[in-house]
Amino acid sequence: EIRHPGATSDYLCFETSSLKRKLCTPNFLAQGLVLFGDNAYVDSECMVSPFKSPKIELGEDDFNFFHSQLRINVECAFGMLVHRWGILRRPLSAKFGIQKTTALVMALCRLHNYCINQRIDLSEPLEDDVAYNISQGGFELEATHGDSI
């Protein structure tokens, strides 16, 4: 859902979202599962954020370290997706709709996992990468079976 302008804080957007209401519904998330947010978020039934003033003797500093490592890995995964799939390098139009946006992102995640599982090099765009081809001037059209272009 899009309720707030782009400059609105992540915290406010999450706090007022139907996603938060759904995630915080009892038994929606499996026992022991939560989201990990950064310092902008507040702990809740479904969100864990780092300690503000960690006490080393209580292990809070260690918790913050591992919490940070988890978030870094998630951000790196998003970075790989954006690098691989050029369509994610710019905002998607709101006219695209949430269902199509969700389907697109899920498809790109599945394709990304396929590329990893098949050991397809993700450092360079594939020849058939549509976003790459368009950025290079588009596709060369070929006539087939006597069709004219």
Give pLDDT tens digits for 4-54. Answer: 677 788 888 888 888 888 988 988 999 889 999 998 888 988 899 999 999
pLDDT at 135: 53
For the full predicted model, state whether its pTM sits above 0.85: no
**Among candidates 36, 98, 96, which has minimal Cα distance to 67?**
36
Residue 126 in 3-state DSSP? coil
Average pLDDT (46-73) is: 93
Task: Calculate the dihedral angle through the C-alpha atoms of 137, 97, 77, 69, rounding to the nearest 10 degrees.
Answer: 140
Average pLDDT (59-87) is: 90
d(CA 17, CA 132): 35
138 vs 96, higher pLDDT: 96
Is a pLDDT exceeding 60 seen at residue 65? yes
pLDDT at 44: 87
**CB-based contact 87:125 (threshold 8 Å):** no
Return the residue matching tokens 């591992």: 66
d(CA 18, CA 36): 18
Is a pLDDT exceeding 50 seen at residue 149? no
Give first-to-last CA distance, the chain, whole Å: 42
pLDDT at 128: 58
pLDDT at 18: 86
**CB-based contact 43:49 (threshold 8 Å):** yes
**CB-based contact 122:83 (threshold 8 Å):** yes
Per-residue pLDDT of 78-122, as tens digits, reads 888 888 888 888 887 778 777 888 888 899 999 889 988 998 876
**Among candidates 124, 120, 37, which has minimal Cα distance to 86?**
124
Rounded to 10 deg, the angle between the 60-84 and 98-117 helix axes is: 90
Average pLDDT (54-79) is: 92
